[in-house]
Amino acid sequence: MRAIDDVSGAAVSEEKLVSAKPLRETRAHTRTSARGAPDWLSFALPLTVAGFFLVLWHLGVRLSGSDLFPTPAEVARGVIELAQRGLLLKYIVASLFRVSWGFALAVMIGVPLGLMLGWYARAFQALNPLIQIFRPISPIAWIPLAILWFGVTDMAPIFLIFLASVFPITVSAIAAVQNMQPVYLRAARNFGLSRGELFRQVILRASLPQIITGIRIALGVAWLVVVAAEMIAVNSGLGYLIIDARNAGKRYDLVVAGMVMIGLIGLMLDLLVRQLEKFDEVRWGYSNR
Amino acid sequence: MFDVRCWVFDVCFSIFSLSDSVMSEPAISIRNCSVTFPGQRPGESIDVLQDVSANVATGEFVCLVGPSGCGKSTLLNVVGGFLEATSGEVLVEGQPVRGPDPRRIFVFQENGVFPWLNVQENIAFGLRRRAAAERTQIVAHYTTMVGLTGFEAAYPRELSGGMRQRVEIARALAANPDIIYMDEPFGALDFITRLKMRADLVRIWQSEKKTILFVTHDIEEAVQLADRVLIMSQRPATIQEVVEIDLPRPRDLDSPGYLEKRDQIFRVMGMSLRVGETSGV
């Protein structure tokens, strides 16, 4: 005899057992082998390739007999020299300062603007063509106008970084709202949310994973642009360091030292933004990756 | 003396029966609802619902069954206020439906639990205007009721499909609605989980005394759950037949009474398949 209310409790406890194990483990597989031991190859492999690259670089410079192009060791000495002269920290701070301001402005304007345009179809119709025309213009092309408007001040590169980052952020926010699962909206309407609550508690939250992806792209572009802007529009920063080292005495060891620092800081910025993707509030949006 | 007592008894009786008739105003009254969707080509239109009328009494558990694509969900969306009927109207507690309302909560087929909130935040979603202490207490109560104790801080992506559906049911109950609309809520679950969810839903319904209107294409599910089953026809859908399931609970799925009701509904739907032009089941 099967009574419907009598289906054994085993069903639910089994269901719980299966799912009580959080799915967090899936990501760990990249760093551990199937047996659970630390996968030393995942560290050794990239290190070996990088070491091989440095050796090739060194040999290439030596064999060509170039006295302008630096070896890796000379670049390292260049970094130390910059640090000792106090320029390294100063220029890094200058570049990061500009990126922070331009980027923060882009987030503050791009996210609300994107949410609005994603939600109000008429506003999207009205503004989207303009955005699509401005978007493909490289921020570098704006440098003359930036100098015309802001002179040789921090405002010029900040403006350029803002331009570079605001489009990826806005466009990802628009797409996030437009692609939002309708069931979240229906549930929100059912619970009688006010317009403000709907935006803060549902539309923004549902769009956040995609917005963060846009922010990652934007920060990468912003870091590219700050270097270019500093080469022309200001007298400090890592971009200025590169152009200045070349112009004043053909110090190519310092040029490459500047490039290495740009690469390392860019990597760190990306790792930093990636941490945002690990918050529980947005992890659901990346679950299949 | 005896006469007076009789007279008093009569008056009391009539007062009670009067209040009874006031009480028995249907919770949901669907009146001649038709829904027509625009077709693929301009000028073309698809009649989904045709002159549907039905009532659901307060506290009643009613299942709406019918072949897939017949318009069950469309009807539920009209009743829930998410879709406007082309003609006719729906009265809920005597008032025409103008849109979704927090006093009637929808449980969605595709699971409407918010993935950015954990279990207890989801369950608390309809309690925004309550005091914090009260909110905590209500959330704890319904977390226990749906059997999710120990998972309060888990996020939906860490839960199985059945558990996510439990979260959504708890969220609906916590908002203390008069009516719960359920649109094939167990459709995506495996057989065993589905049986367990039905048993739990009946238990919860018995203790909470909510009115439930439940859409399903699963005839067995309808007979296990409902007080009354409304059988819809093929499109354009009407209510083809109403079957009272006057079986005691917990229901014995092997009893002759259960099998008889089940087969009766099968027959009603089977006949309509033979008459119809396409077999859309």
- pLDDT per position as a tens digit, B4-22: 555 555 555 444 444 444 4
Buried residues in B243-277 as b, exposed as e (16+ CB within 10 A): bebebebbbbbeeeebeebbebbeebbeebeeeee
Does B261 map to a domain?
yes
Distance CA A168, CA A268 (A): 20
- What pLDDT does B8 receive? 54
Does the residue B163 lie in any domain? no
How many angstroms separate the CA of residue B24 from the nearest CA in chain A?
26
- State the average pLDDT for chain A: 86
Q: What is the pLDDT of residue A289?
A: 44
pLDDT classification of B39: cutoffs 50, 70, 90 = confident
Identify the band that residue B24 occupies on the pLDDT scale cut at 50, 70 and 90: low
Distance CA B101, CA B96 (A): 12
Report, as an integer, the average pLDDT of A109-137: 95
Comparing CA positions, the residue from A212, A191, A215 lying closest to residue A104 is: A215
Q: Which residues of B touch A284 (CB under 8 A)?
A: 115-116, 155-157
Provide the chain B residues 140-159 that lie in CB contact (below 8 A) with chain A.
147, 150-151, 154-159
Per-residue tokens: A47: 């290190």
Q: Residue B49's domain spans which residues?
A: 26-101+211-281
pLDDT tens per residue, range B217-231: 999 999 999 999 999
Calculate mean pLDDT across residues A198-207. 94
Domain membership of residue B73 (yes or no) is: yes
For residue B114, the chain A residues in CB contact (below 8 A) are 184, 187, 202, 205-206
User: Cα(B118)–Cα(B124) distance, rounded to whole angstroms?
Assistant: 10
Helix (H, G, I), strand (E, B) or coil at B18: helix
How far is it, in rounded angstroms, from Cα B15 to Cα B4? 17
The answer to whether the CB atoms of B101 and A192 lie below 8 A apart is yes
Task: Identify the CATH class of A70-286.
Answer: mainly alpha
CATH code of the domain covering residue B219 = 3.40.50.300
pLDDT digits (tens, 9 = 90+) for A258-279: 999 999 999 999 999 999 998 8
Question: Which tokens go with B112?
Answer: 């409407």
pLDDT of res. A188: 93
Q: Which two tokens stand for residue A140?
A: 């570098």
Residues found in chain B: 281
**With an 8 Å Cβ cutoff, are A15 and B116 in contact?**
no
Confirm or reject contact between B163 and chain A (CB < 8 A): yes
Rounded to 5°, the CA angle B86-B32-B274 comes to 95
Question: Is residue B7 in a domain?
Answer: no
- pLDDT by residue (tens digit) across A157-182? 999 999 999 999 999 999 999 999 99
Q: Which ipTM did the prediction report?
A: 0.83
* pLDDT band at residue B108 under the 50/70/90 scheme: very high
At position A172, the amino acid (one-letter code) is S
- pLDDT value at residue B25: 81
CA distance B253 to B259: 7
Percent over 90 (pLDDT), chain B: 66
| A287: pLDDT strictly greater than 70 | no
Residue with tokens 């005839």: B219
Q: How far is A83 from chain B (nearest CA, A)?
A: 44
**Binary contact (B102, A1; C-beta < 8 A):** no
User: B141 lies in a domain?
Assistant: no
What confidence score (pLDDT) does residue A111 get? 96
- Sorted by sequence, the CB contacts under 8 Å of residue B225 that are 6+ apart come out as B61, B63, B198, B201, B202, B214
A23 to chain B: closest CA residue:
B158
CB neighbours of residue A270 within 10 Å: 13
Tokens of A181: 């699962």
pLDDT digits (tens, 9 = 90+) for B41-88: 888 888 999 999 999 999 999 999 988 888 899 999 999 999 999 999
Judged against a pLDDT cut of 70, whether residue B215 lies above it is answered with yes
Tally the residues of chain A: 289
Q: What is the mean pLDDT of residues A30-58?
A: 81
Residue B41 forms part of a structural domain: yes
pLDDT digit string, tens, across residues B180-214: 999 999 988 889 989 989 999 999 999 998 999 99
The CA distance from B124 to B165, in Å, is 15
Domain count, chain B: 1
> What single-letter DSSP state applies at residue B252?
B
Question: Tell me, what's the pLDDT at B1?
Answer: 47
Q: Which of B84, B101, B158 is the mutation pick for testing A, counting most A CBs within 10 A?
A: B158
